[in-house]
């Protein structure tokens, strides 16, 4: 067997192993906050809620609109049992599709080896280690696929429509990415010497038309004034957007998550020196080692992959300075890396997480780092050398590790041995204390039927998946906001109830279970809190008092 056949076989085996490992991982971990919210919003729409009218929270709304038909079909056929696992399977299929799009885009320009590693990296990158269909995962994945297909379309016009559709749905799923998608379209038009009409119809029209039509439809359904009001509300209470101070916080976060900056600076200086002197082997070795200098300070948290991506993507910039005479390097830099930089800025600026979310939009830049690293080594040592795969292999292996080992708001992976057998979390493995919490809460809510309305306060969107009752709240994730905003935030919620009526059942969370019993956030409610005052003045009776929550019901439920 030739060396080339062995290399292809090894890459294929690695890709299949990564797929198998990724599929195995979706069965582990139970989260009651972010992941539950990703599913609870479309579930609310299935039950009749309207985006921007009943559900006022904006970050997940557009992705939930895309997800709603799938949740509706599953709910109609199966019910709520296993709903979380079903959406995780959807995420797995989408991530696999993104990986295939990346592989198709790069196999000719960068070779099968780099294309395969880039595809595995795109599949393995799971923002916050939450394997669900969210605005983060869907927006980042489709933006990456669309950007790489857009690069392919520069030489293969038949890829234009696929690129435009991916970019369009990325912008709809994560609205701030409209700016990055627009930058991609403009740069592509500037690069083209001919074929402007085909470019405009094949890429620009769907890339900008899909989000425009989607936003227009939602605006017509809810009313433009209500949509604008919801965005202002999210910005005020939940930290979306911000001023110049937000940009400073993003910069500070990026600086603090690069502890080995001095090694990176030294490696880049040595690379420039050895490259200029023609010391190819030393320069190639430095290129191989560059990704290791961008490791974040903590390697087992759910934000590790995002922090790593935020810095690994920037490695393409100094490598581009060394490859700037190559036409394909210029094209890849302009239509993938630059829009990726815009994407990183807008996803971090528009998020309450700030700099943590930079990696969501910036991931396409990591793929550019893969390719530039391989091209640099090829130029130093000769075409298609096995060492050219080393930088990409290092980044891919790290992304696989970061995507598998950390578990979002649950116990360590090795301790998740309790399988949930009923309800929306059926089929998932968690710790025994968390499973016991689900059993107890399910028993306390057993008598609440579909004709009742229910609300959970605070930070417990999972509750709406645990009962057949209809959500009755301005947002299925009633968040814990800064103390200075708590009263105003709850006053806004009370005004919502003044218009719609108070729910039949209220569950007041006292602790938010993360990885029970070691980590749980304690909720504090002041006696003068407008929400507590409103509850106490209505005809509720307490039917359950637990360490983690209180249940209040009206007589009819």
Quickly state the pLDDT bin for 387 (edges 50, 70, 90).
confident
pLDDT of residue 521: 63
Task: Give the pLDDT score at 193.
Answer: 65
| Residue 518: burial class (beta carbons within 10 Å; 0-12, 13-18, 19+) | exposed
Taking a C-beta distance cutoff of 8 angstroms, is the pair 301, 325 a contact?
no
Q: Report the percentage of the chain scoring pLDDT > 70.
A: 97
pLDDT for res 195: 64
Query: 410 or 233: whose pLDDT is higher?
Result: 410
Confidence class of residue 141 from pLDDT cuts 50, 70 and 90? very high
Alpha carbon distance 230, 212 (integer Å): 18
pLDDT at 456 over 90: yes
Q: Is the pLDDT of residue 265 over 90?
A: yes
Per-residue model confidence as pLDDT tens digits over 297-312: 998 898 999 999 999 9
Model confidence at 241: pLDDT above 90: no
pLDDT of residue 532: 86
The pLDDT score that the predictor gives to residue 194 is 66
Question: What is the average per-residue pLDDT within 257-271?
Answer: 95
Residue 408: partners with Cβ closer than 8 Å, 6 or more residues away: 29, 31, 34, 35, 128, 129, 130, 302
- pLDDT tens figures, 2-11: 667 787 888 8
What share of the chain has pLDDT > 90, as a percent? 66
Q: What pLDDT is stored for residue 512 in this prediction?
A: 82
The answer, yes or no, to whether residue 14 has pLDDT greater than 80, is yes
Pairing between strand 453-457 and 505-509? parallel
Mean of the per-residue pLDDT values of the chain: 91
To the nearest 10°, report the CA torsion of 227, 230, 236, 240.
-70
pLDDT band at residue 539 using 50, 70 and 90 as cut-offs: confident
Q: What is the pLDDT of residues 17-45, one digit of tens each?
A: 999 999 999 999 999 999 999 999 999 99
In the structure, what pLDDT confidence band is assigned to residue 160 with cuts at 50, 70 and 90? Answer: very high
At CA 431, angle to CA 426 and CA 436, rounded to 5?
A: 70
Which of 56-60, 204-208, 211-215 is least confident? 56-60
pLDDT digits (tens, 9 = 90+) for 324-374: 989 999 999 999 999 999 999 999 999 888 899 999 999 999 999 999 999
The model's pTM: 0.94
- Specify whether the backbone of 551 is left (phi greater than 0), alpha (psi in -120 to 50) or beta: beta
Strands (E), 424-526: 429-430, 453-457, 470-471, 505-509, 511-515, 519-522
Q: What is each CA distance from 307 to 296, 345, 358, 369, 494, in whole angstroms?
A: 6, 14, 8, 15, 38
Taking only the tens place, the pLDDT of each residue in 464-515 is 999 999 999 989 998 888 888 888 889 988 888 888 889 999 999 988 887 7
Tell me which residue of 222, 201, 220 sits closest to 212, measured CA to CA: 220
Give the start-to-end residue ranges of the domains of the chain. Answer: 3-404, 431-553
Of residues 291, 293, 297, 309, the one with CA closest to residue 257: 297
pLDDT higher than threshold 60 for residue 451: yes
CB atoms within 10 A of CB 158: 9
Beta strand pairing status for 549-553 and 541-545?
Answer: antiparallel
pLDDT band, residue 276 (cuts 50/70/90): confident
CB of 138 closer than 8 Å to CB of 94: yes
User: How big is the chain, counted in residues?
Assistant: 557
């Amino acid at each position: 067997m030739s060396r080339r056949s062995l290399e292809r076989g090894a890459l294929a085996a690695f890709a299949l192993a990564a797929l198998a490992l990724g599929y195995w991982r979706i069965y582990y971990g139970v989260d009651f906050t972010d992941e539950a919210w990703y599913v609870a919003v479309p579930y609310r729409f299935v039950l009749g809620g309207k985006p921007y009218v009943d559900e006022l929270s904006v970050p997940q709304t557009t992705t939930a609109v895309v997800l709603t038909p799938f949740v509706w079909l599953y709910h109609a056929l199966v019910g709520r049992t296993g709903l979380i696992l079903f959406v995780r399977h959807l995420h797995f299929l989408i991530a696999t599709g993104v990986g295939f799009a990346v592989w198709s885009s790069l196999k000719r320009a960068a070779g099968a080896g780099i294309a395969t590693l880039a595809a595995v990296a795109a599949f393995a990158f799971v923002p916050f280690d939450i394997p669900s269909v969210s605005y983060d995962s869907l927006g980042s994945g489709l933006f990456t696929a669309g950007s790489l297909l857009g690069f392919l379309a520069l030489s293969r016009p038949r890829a234009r429509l696929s690129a435009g559709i991916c970019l369009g749905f990325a912008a709809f799923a994560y609205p701030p990415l409209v700016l990055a998608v627009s930058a991609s379209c403009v740069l592509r038009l500037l690069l083209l010497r001919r074929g402007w009409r085909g470019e405009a119809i094949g890429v620009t029209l769907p890339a900008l038309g899909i989000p425009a039509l989607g936003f227009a439809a939602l605006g017509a359904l809810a009313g433009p004034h209500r949509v604008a009001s919801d965005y202002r509300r999210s910005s005020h209470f939940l930290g979306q957007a911000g001023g110049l101070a937000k940009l400073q916080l993003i910069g500070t976060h990026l600086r603090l998550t690069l502890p080995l900056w001095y090694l990176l600076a030294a490696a880049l200086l040595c690379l420039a020196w050895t490259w200029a002197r023609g010391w190819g082997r030393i320069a190639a070795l430095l290129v191989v080692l560059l990704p290791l200098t961008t490791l974040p300070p903590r390697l087992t948290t759910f934000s590790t992959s995002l922090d790593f991506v935020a810095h690994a993507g920037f490695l393409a910039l100094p490598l581009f300075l060394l490859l700037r005479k190559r036409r394909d390097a210029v094209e890849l830099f302009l239509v993938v890396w630059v829009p990726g930089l815009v994407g990183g800025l807008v996803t971090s600026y528009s998020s309450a997480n700030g700099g943590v979310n930079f990696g969501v939009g910036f991931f396409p830049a990591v793929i550019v780092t893969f390719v530039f690293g391989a091209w640099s080594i090829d130029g130093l040592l000769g075409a298609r050398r096995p060492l050219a795969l080393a930088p990409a292999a290092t980044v891919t292996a790290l992304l696989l590790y970061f995507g598998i080992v950390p578990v979002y708001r649950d116990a360590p992976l090795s301790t998740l041995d309790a399988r949930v057998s009923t309800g929306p979390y059926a089929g998932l493995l968690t710790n025994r204390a968390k499973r016991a919490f689900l059993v107890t809460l399910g028993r306390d809510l057993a008598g609440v039927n579909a004709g009742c309305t229910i609300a959970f306060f605070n930070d417990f969107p999972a509750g709406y998946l645990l009962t057949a009752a209809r959500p009755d709240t301005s947002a299925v994730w009633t968040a814990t906001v800064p103390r200075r905003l708590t009263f105003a935030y709850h006053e806004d919620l009370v005004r919502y109830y003044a218009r719609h009526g108070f729910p039949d059942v209220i569950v007041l969370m006292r602790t938010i279970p993360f990885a029970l019993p070691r980590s749980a956030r304690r909720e504090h409610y002041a006696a003068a809190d407008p929400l507590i005052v409103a509850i106490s003045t209505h005809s509720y009776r307490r039917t359950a008092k637990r360490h983690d929550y209180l249940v209040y019901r009206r007589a009819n439920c």
